């Protein structure tokens, strides 16, 4: 059974710092991996999707990497801003069970202090 773990559970950094969020998964048989952002009480915003054949994806100050063989992904946020404060969720689309299913980690709650 696919399991997704995110470390750390919470992270507090000063504004301007570069930071890395970690995600690990137990089964490398995945179609893709998605990173989401969720503000309190709101829906999920898709940040980046990395296909299983890809190594990384970039969008603005965000860079996500994928090492499928070791079951790891990182989300790098450059020059963090208070507006980046949110919970970041990692989810994989496992091949077993069909592409419709997403298995989520529990998230990393990020606080960027001004």
Q: Is 102 in the site for other proteins (CB under 8 A)?
A: yes
Q: Count the site residues for other proteins by CB under 8 A.
A: 26
| Residues found in the chain | 114
Out of 35, 93, 108, 112, the only residue in the binding site for other proteins (CB under 8 A) is 93
State the minimum distance, in angstroms, from the CB of residue 40 to other proteins. 10
Please say which residue, 33 or 77, places its beta carbon nearer to other proteins.
33
3-state helix, strand, coil split of the chain in percent (to 5) is: 5, 60, 40
Q: Mask: binding to other proteins, 28-57, rule CB under 8 A, as x and -?
A: ---xx-x-x----xxxxxx--x-xxx----
Buried (b) or exposed (e) across 39-78, using 16+ Cβ within 10 A? eeeeeeeebbbbeeeeeebeeeebbbbbebeebebbbebe
Stretch that binds other proteins, among 16-24, 66-74, 76-84, 88-96 (CB under 8 A): 88-96
Structural tokens at position 103: 């298995």
In whole angstroms, give the CA distance from residue 24 to residue 6. Answer: 6
Residues of the shown chain interacting with other proteins in the complex, contacts defined by CB under 8 A:
31-32, 34, 36, 41-46, 49, 51-53, 89, 91, 93, 98-102, 104-107
């Amino acid at each position: 059974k696919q399991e997704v773990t995110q470390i750390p559970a919470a992270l507090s950094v000063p504004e301007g710092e570069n930071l890395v969020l970690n995600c690990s998964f137990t089964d490398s048989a995945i179609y893709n991996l998605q990173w989401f952002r969720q503000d309190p009480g709101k829906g999920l915003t898709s940040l980046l999707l990395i296909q299983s054949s890809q190594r990384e994806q970039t969008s603005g100050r965000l860079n996500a990497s994928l090492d499928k063989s070791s079951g790891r992904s990182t989300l790098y946020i450059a020059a963090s801003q208070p507006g980046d404060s949110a919970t970041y969720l990692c989810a994989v689309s496992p091949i077993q069970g069909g592409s419709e299913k997403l298995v989520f980690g529990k998230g990393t709650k990020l606080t960027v202090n001004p």
